[in-house]
Amino acid sequence: MVNEKEDVFYIGVKEPGSVRKAVLESSKSIVEGLQRYERFKMTREQKAAEIVRLQEDVKEINKLLTKLKSLLPATKLKELAPKKVKKSKVKAKKIEEKPAEKPVMKKLPKPKEVEKLEDELADIERKLANI
C-alpha cells in the first residue's frame, strides 16, 4: 500500500483576536447558562425536600388530631357551624393582617459541577481580559 498524504489546506483568519474574543464570550455565556441550570436543579431539589417534609408534618398532625379526638370525652353536643361574617368585616380583617413571612430555605452546599463551572468561567474571563 502506498502512504498517501492528505492535502492540508490552511485558511487565513482575518482579525484572529476578535474571533478568539467572540469564541470566549460564547463560551462564557454557555458556562453562565450551565451555572443557572445547576442553581435551578438545586432549588428544585430543595423544593421537593420541603414538600416531603411538609407531607410528613401533615401526617403527624393528623395522627395527633385523631389521638386528641379519641382522648376527649364523648358529648351529645353537636359541632357548631361557623357564623357567617359580613363581607366588609372580612375585608377589613384581611387588611389588618400582616403578610406571612416567607420561610428561609436552607442553602445546600454547592455541588462539584457548580464549582467546576465557576472555575471555568473565571478562566474564560481571564483570557478575555488578556485580549
Grid look-up 379519641 returns 70
Residue 94 Cα to chain centre, angstroms = 31
Q: Please report the pLDDT score of residue 129 as a whole number.
A: 87
Q: Using one digit for the tens of pLDDT, what is the confidence trace for 77-126? A: 776 666 765 655 555 455 555 555 555 555 556 677 888 888 888 888 88
Q: Please report the pLDDT score of residue 5 as a whole number.
A: 64
Q: How far apart are CA 31 and CA 22, in angstroms?
A: 14
Q: How far apart are CA 28 and CA 128, in angstroms?
A: 9
Q: Please report the pLDDT score of residue 36 as a whole number.
A: 96
Of 27-31, 45-49, 83-87, 110-114, where does mean pLDDT reach its minimum? 83-87
More confident residue, 72 or 34: 34
Q: How far apart are CA 121 and CA 22, in angstroms?
A: 15
* Predicted structure pTM score: 0.52
- Residue 71, by phi and psi: left (phi above 0), alpha (psi -120 to 50) or beta? alpha
Q: What is the mean pLDDT of residues 49-63?
A: 97
